[in-house]
């Protein structure tokens, strides 16, 4: 079965960086895009970025452009999301998500368990 297992919760100070991993299994990693979605407490989800492991292309939300990088390691079937220059507004649950359709984009079928990032001085 498809599984996405994320790295553990983290507490960071303002100005720091964080890198979250997403280890996948149960499908051909190369064929499906991976998105990152975050959700601040009491808020709706917010799409952050996407990577296509099959071509290495990435797309990012404009508000995060320059602060976020999404990568994919096809040798270990693992995706990563790095967010830099953290502020308290970045405190949220972060999810990696697999696309529903191979080579498709935009429909989030499988979700990781979430990684809580807390930014506090």
Residues binding other proteins (CB under 8 A): 43-47, 49-50, 59-62, 95, 100, 105-109, 111-114
Among 71, 66, 64, 56, which residue's Cα sits nearest to residue 92? 64
As a whole number of angstroms, the distance between CA 19 and CA 2 comes to 23
Q: Which two tokens stand for residue 20?
A: 């979250």
Q: How far is the CB of 105 from other proteins (least distance, A)?
A: 7
Q: Which two tokens stand for residue 63?
A: 């508000």
As a whole number of angstroms, the distance between CA 25 and CA 3 comes to 5
Q: How far is the CB of 109 from other proteins (least distance, A)?
A: 5
Closer CB to other proteins, 10 or 16, in the complex: 10
Closer CB to other proteins, 67 or 114, in the complex: 114
Closer CB to other proteins, 14 or 106, in the complex: 106
Q: How far is the CB of 71 from other proteins (least distance, A)?
A: 17
As a whole number of angstroms, the distance between CA 38 and CA 89 comes to 11
């Amino acid at each position: 079965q498809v599984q996405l297992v994320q790295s553990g919760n983290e507490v960071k100070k303002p100005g720091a960086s964080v890198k979250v991993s997403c280890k996948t299994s149960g499908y051909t990693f190369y064929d499906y895009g991976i998105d990152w979605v975050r959700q601040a407490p009491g808020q709706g989800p917010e799409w952050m970025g996407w990577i296509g492991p099959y071509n290495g292309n990435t797309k990012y939300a404009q508000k995060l452009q320059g602060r976020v990088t999404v990568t994919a390691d096809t040798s270990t079937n693992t995706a990563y999301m790095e967010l830099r220059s953290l502020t308290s507004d970045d405190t949220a649950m972060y999810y990696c998500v697999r696309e529903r359709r191979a080579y498709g984009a935009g429909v989030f079928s499988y979700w990781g368990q979430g990684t809580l990032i807390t930014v506090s001085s």
